Amino acid sequence: MKIVNQSITKIDGMDIATGKPVYTDDLVNVKALVVKILRSPHAFAKIKSIDVEKAKKRSGVACVLTHQDVPNQRFTMAGQSYPEPSPYDRLVLDEYVRYVGDEVAIIAAVDERTAIEAMKMIKVEYEILEPVLNFEEAIGHPSVIHPEENLEVNFDIGMKREKNIAATVLIENGDMEEALKNSPVIVEETYYTQAQAHGMMETQRAFTYLDVSGRLTIVTSTQIPFHVRRIVANALEIPKSKVRVIKPKIGGGFGGKQNASVEVFPAIVTLKTGKPAKIIYDRKENLGCTSSRHAMKIKVKLGADHEGNIKAVDMEALSDTGAYGEHASTVLGVAGYKTLPLYNTAKAVRYSGEAVYTNKMPAGALRGYGVTQGIFALESAINQLADQLNMDPAEVREKNLIKQGETNPILSGSKAGEPGKLDSCTLDRCIEKGKELIGWKEKYPSQRVSDTKVRAVGMAITMQGSGIAGIDTAAVTIKLNDDGLYSLLIGATEMGMGSDTILTQMAAETLEIGMDKFIVHGIDTDLSPYDTGSYASSTTYVTGNAVIKAAEDLKGKMMRQASGMLGVPLKGLRFKGDTIGVINHPDKQVSLNEIAADVGAGEGKQEQLMGSGTFGGDKSPPPFIAGFAEVEVDLETGKIVLIDYVAVIDCGTVINPNLARIQAEGGLVQGIGMAMYEDVLYDKAGRMMTNSFMQYKIPCRKDINKITVAFEPSYEPTGPFGAKSIGEVVINTPPPAIAHAVFNATGVYVRNLPITPEKVVKGMMESSK
Amino acid sequence: MKINVTVNDEQLEMEVGYDEFLVEALRRYGFNSVKRGCDTGCCGLCTIWINDQPTLSCSSLAVRANNQKITTIEGLQEEATDFAKVLVKEGAEQCGFCSPGFIMTILAMKRELKNPTEEEIIHYLTGNLCRCTGYLGQLRAVKKYMGVV
Amino acid sequence: MIKLFQIKNYAIPNTIEEAYQLLNEKRANTLLGGCGFLKMGKKTIPTAIDLSHLGLDKIKEDENAIEIGAMTSFRAVEVSSILNDHFDGILPRAVKEILGVQFRNVVTVGATVYSRYGFSDFITALLALDAYVILYKGGKIPLAAFLAQGCQKDILIKIVILKKNTRAAFHAMRNSQGDYAILNVAVSKENNEFKIAVGARPQRAMIAREASKLLGEGQLSEAMIEEVSILAAKELTFGSNMRGTKEYRQILCKALVKRGIKEVLS
């Protein structure tokens, strides 16, 4: 391979690195109305009356909309393939407000100041209802968060609306009671993972206008342009054909832009007024009024024998989906589906749980998508099991983990009676290499470095998926332009991770030509081929496979064209990238430019050369990671310094080592943030206290010391050039590995994230009592 | 009120509100590289130079810029490109939204610190948050750019 | 962020007297320092008074004292050779961990001290020294007294620190390094006189008087240091907020005071 597996620089790197105007708000080139949202000050209330007359009359105000002005069509903001597994439990504006920050009114004015002043003139009378703020008390709470009768689900997700249950899940295999009975060693603990904010640098934003033919155009910072088109059309009751979505460069997503959080607001303003409108969420709205990771409580029961053979894995989850059910059932399910297959020796596995509504900011997709939560619980329990057995935790894992070629009934692609097969996995080698890189032999479990400081190591493993099996779809078109350049048309959304580049690498590799021969365009739903979008670690695997198909298709067409031009049958030709030549006749060939010119001439009698490919996988091959943390804990203050973090990754073939490394480092740091610093906190009235970067602390440069990323590539036969995914899997190991290292340093197991110095110190005091 | 500012070596008369911050005014006048990140002074995305000092434009009132010298990355394209080449080679630009403020801080550091250590570099850049890269790729690029072995 | 504060009129006085007159014209008239926190408020300000043309941004030194002008930025404090050369550099050390250089170029000494912020690292460090605030009308007031009582509407012109042969140490506990301190401690020693200042309790910094006194009287043994640190944690009050509980702050106080004492004795 000449281009794939090379550290090629990003094709748009220089544009975005030097401050060029490439993001949504930089592209608003007309005078657009500024859209602001009046938000609920109450966690749960019914709007009794709302008086907007004064606000409407203020000069410069274009419109003020309330729940009386919006369609009575419930929808979900979750960017998922239709029919979405998320409940249709929202209106653009509702007479109920279900969390502090929920939308009450939409104000559009000529400028921000006017909009804010108009907002202050709106008088709302609320009937305040008792909120549900503790998710452990949600089921059967006297307050029903969604009392509305017209809430819809596309299919049964185990919703029990009157009980505040948004979704239910049960995954099981084997006889659990029997397996536990045969387990002389039992570990049973409960773990809590917090809501986490995406914290992407560019907040949610969108700009809307009607084009000359009256179609609604939405320029938006999104991961899911095609879903946005459908969501907006449904919510506003207009035909999808009347909506066009354009995605320019995005300043980060992490799943936060897999929800259509903002688009409906300027869209309805544009439809009502006919004028361009824009909404730019400020950081407070970004952190407080969009979505976060689902906070979860997960009870784990492990059964094993004295030799460390795992017999049973039983997990019970409760997930907090907040005010709306975006991604409620899928995140809940994935926390089981992508953790249970890890320990294939288990005779019985079970994962059950509920996602519940509460009067807090809705949860949604965030990198890791439930696996992060499940892995913290499972891996912490495994580490505790090793401790209880007095065994090296790496050894316990090596004994039990799933290996390449094995089958497992929970793996994606499994059918009844036909467990899915793991085609590629180097997890065992990842563990071996990780141990070497962190110095496990010398450092495990801990060393005292001074009177007040101890250093220790800890570990965890994880898996994820690559796209959603049976659901994700990507189409790709490559066209040969008349100048001999290729246009690579994709619908997958580049959001900084380099997907445009790695997809071009795959096209260039297949078409055997340099990267500079390709043009890649941003997404425009009018022009781009359909793609479900960039989420669920799907881009490399799903869209990548479609790229190869499209390139092969085009290659075939070019060969046929050359065959005609040269008068040589196909089997006598060889594709060489910039030329197609005749085998054994080195002088006889046509160049790419000649082919392009040839199809361009000929008075419309020639077929223009375009290759197309579509891919949707029936499995979602898992990437794997072994993660190792070394910490230094100050025994007096509890301060934890993360000295080193090692992650050894099996993402199949590494398409672009540089970009994969950065993707991994970034994901690890986001996981480190979740492990140590980040927390979404509410006060007693349900007001979020962490809706600024002053209070919600993502890691800063000084928090990160050394991170070592290494690859142990497997070869995934169903993947493009053997590749799997890397986007999400990288976030999962830091919470359990750091918790383990802190335990080895202090004897304190922190089972509720984040692992703060206070919890560590108090834990030490507790155990010395 | 009307203020006179030198932006990227050019005289500019700007009409600004008393309570308007530089980030708003500069974007309104087309300096789109200046990004709003947090509004609470924590992220460094809006970093520009006021009289050659890296400063948060989200926290600096526009009226105070009267008769002062402002520099944004639009005015330092050549130098920014030199650094961006190193950054891109490292693969560490990712989404790029924090880049303008980040690069403004790096270029200020380059003027201020001669032969900085790795620790001094990290200290100087601490005010620039990034959610994509995890910082280490950026650090590798900065070290190369600054000639730190 | 939805901007809720508003400035109706803007004044850039050329004398302090003029600034003082403007300040007292209307109750809500407001002096502008670094403006770092301005936009987080909701105030409507009839006249905002900009102090940046009064030459108050200097750090000066004479035989007896160091003066820090109210409009001096934290960044200027951080890099000041005068401040790095005195009191074991605790003032630069206290400010340098606060967010980034572009933030420290904004924040001013005067606004911080005048606002008596509880979370301030700078105030705690300053409190361990022999420091005074100079108010335009109120004159020279010891920092501790100013922190305790505040003042009538006035203009803080500068901070004066008496130059002594002081050893000093500053310690702050943060979780993320980019966060506010959960607790901060400054300890100073001048001959046999000690000052232990503790801030971010989360209330504003105070001197642990009994602990400071005990330290000056006793044998400087390991046991005594332990006793003093326990006393400091006992005599001061602590509170809880989202960064830490009262109990944890007490634990930190003891640990950081001990470290501070050991450092000034080293």
> What local confidence, expressed as pLDDT, does residue C27 receive?
92
Query: Tens digit of pLDDT for each residue in A672-694?
Result: 999 999 999 999 999 999 999 99
Q: With an 8 Å Cβ cutoff, are A36 and C179 in contact? A: no
pLDDT band at residue C38 under the 50/70/90 scheme? confident
C100 CB neighbours in chain B (<8 A) are: 44, 105, 125-128
Proportion of chain A in helix, strand, coil states, percent, rounded to 5: 30, 25, 40
- Is B103 at the interface with chain A, CB within 8 A? yes
What is the DSSP code string of A420-432? EE-----HHHHHH
CA A596 to chain centroid: 40
Give the Cα separation of A546 and A44 in Å (integer). 46
- Is A607 at the interface with chain C, CB within 8 A? no
Give the Cα separation of C224 and C218 in Å (integer). 7
Residue of A nearest to C180 (CA): A694
Average pLDDT rounded to a whole number, residues A707-735: 98
Which stretch of A152-166, A260-274, A601-615 has the lowest confidence by average pLDDT?
A601-615
Contact criterion met (CB below 8 Å) for A283 and B40:
yes
Contact criterion met (CB below 8 Å) for A502 and A190:
no
Residue C40 clears pLDDT 80, i.e. is over it: no
Q: Does the CA dihedral C70-C76-C78-C83 come out positive or negative? A: negative
The strand pair at C167-173 and C183-190 is best described as antiparallel
Average pLDDT rounded to a whole number, residues A316-341: 98
- Range(s) for CATH 3.90.1170.50 in chain A? 27-129+198-288
- Is C240 at the interface with chain A, CB within 8 A? no
Query: Tens digit of pLDDT for each residue in A201-242?
Result: 999 999 999 999 999 999 999 999 999 999 999 999 999 999
Q: Does the CA dihedral C75-C79-C85-C89 come out positive or negative? A: positive
**Of residues A640 and C166, more confidently modeled:** A640
> What local confidence, expressed as pLDDT, does residue C1 receive?
58
- What are the tokens at A280? 């730019």
> What local confidence, expressed as pLDDT, does residue A637 receive?
98
Query: Tens digit of pLDDT for each residue in C186-232?
Result: 999 999 999 999 999 999 999 999 999 999 997 889 999 999 999 99
What is the DSSP code string of A155-168? S----BGGGTEEEE
Largest CA distance in chain B: 50
Q: With an 8 Å Cβ cutoff, are A676 and C252 in contact? A: no
Q: With an 8 Å Cβ cutoff, are C101 and B127 in contact? A: yes
- Is B39 at the interface with chain A, CB within 8 A? yes
Give the Cα separation of A600 and A100 in Å (integer). 60
Query: Tens digit of pLDDT for each residue in B73-119?
Result: 999 999 999 999 999 999 999 999 999 999 999 999 999 999 999 99
Residue C34 clears pLDDT 90, i.e. is over it: no
First to last CA, chain C: 48
A754 closest CA partner among A674, A681, A637? A674
Largest CA distance in chain A: 91
Tell me which of C247, C251, C253 to substitute to probe the interface with A (most A C-beta atoms closer than 10 Å).
Answer: C251
Residue C3 clears pLDDT 80, i.e. is over it: no
pLDDT band at residue A603 under the 50/70/90 scheme? low
CATH of A27-129+198-288, one of 3.30.365.10, 3.90.1150.10, 3.90.1170.50, 1.10.20.60: 3.90.1170.50
Class of domain A469-615: alpha beta
Contact criterion met (CB below 8 Å) for B48 and B26:
yes
Cα separation values, A470 from A225, A393, A474, A618, Å: 20, 36, 12, 5
Contact criterion met (CB below 8 Å) for A120 and A138:
no
Cα separation values, A287 from A43, A678, C219, Å: 16, 12, 53
CA B20 to chain centroid: 19
Q: Please say whether the structural domain A132-196+292-403 has been given the CATH code 3.30.365.10.
A: yes
Nearest-CA distance from B96 to chain A in Å?
Answer: 5
The strand pair at A585-591 and A453-463 is best described as unpaired
Residue C245 clears pLDDT 90, i.e. is over it: yes
Q: Does the CA dihedral A329-A332-A335-A337 come out positive or negative? A: negative
Listed in sequence order, the DSSP H helices in chain B are: 22-28, 77-90, 99-112, 118-125, 136-146
Contact criterion met (CB below 8 Å) for C13 and C53:
yes
> What local confidence, expressed as pLDDT, does residue A739 receive?
98
Tell me which of B7, B24, B132 to substitute to probe the interface with A (most A C-beta atoms closer than 10 Å).
Answer: B132
Query: Tens digit of pLDDT for each residue in B5-55?
Result: 999 999 999 999 999 999 999 999 999 999 999 989 999 999 999 999 999
Residue C51 clears pLDDT 90, i.e. is over it: yes
Query: Tens digit of pLDDT for each residue in B58-76?
Result: 999 999 999 999 999 999 9
Q: Identify the bridge partners of residue A192 per DSSP, sorted by sequence position.
A: A297, A752
* Cβ-nearest to C255 among A637, A692, A697: A637
The strands making up A585-591's β-sheet, listed across from edge to edge, are A573-575, A579-582, A585-591
Query: Tens digit of pLDDT for each residue in C65-93?
Result: 999 999 999 999 999 999 999 999 999 99
Contact criterion met (CB below 8 Å) for B78 and B108:
no
* Cβ-nearest to A10 among B91, B123, B133: B91
> What local confidence, expressed as pLDDT, does residue A143 receive?
98
pLDDT band at residue A607 under the 50/70/90 scheme? confident
A668 closest CA partner among A628, A623, A712, A622? A628
List the 169-198 stretch of A: residues with Cβ below 8 A of B.
198
> What local confidence, expressed as pLDDT, does residue A604 receive?
65
* Cβ-nearest to B88 among A13, A252, A702: A13
> What local confidence, expressed as pLDDT, does residue A157 receive?
97
B119 CB neighbours in chain C (<8 A) are: none
CATH code for the part of the protein at A429-466+621-769: 3.30.365.10
> What local confidence, expressed as pLDDT, does residue B105 receive?
98
Residue of B nearest to C42 (CA): B19
Cα separation values, C48 from C15, C28, C155, Å: 15, 9, 13
> What local confidence, expressed as pLDDT, does residue C159 receive?
98
Q: With an 8 Å Cβ cutoff, are B93 and A665 in contact? A: no
Quickly count: other Cβ atoms within 10 Å of residue A381's Cβ. Answer: 24
- Range(s) for CATH 3.30.365.10 in chain A? 132-196+292-403, 429-466+621-769, 469-615
- What are the tokens at C53? 């043309």
Largest CA distance in chain C: 60
Nearest-CA distance from C189 to chain B in Å?
Answer: 29
Residue A452 clears pLDDT 80, i.e. is over it: yes
Q: Identify the bridge partners of residue C61 per DSSP, sorted by sequence position.
A: C66
- Is A637 at the interface with chain C, CB within 8 A? yes
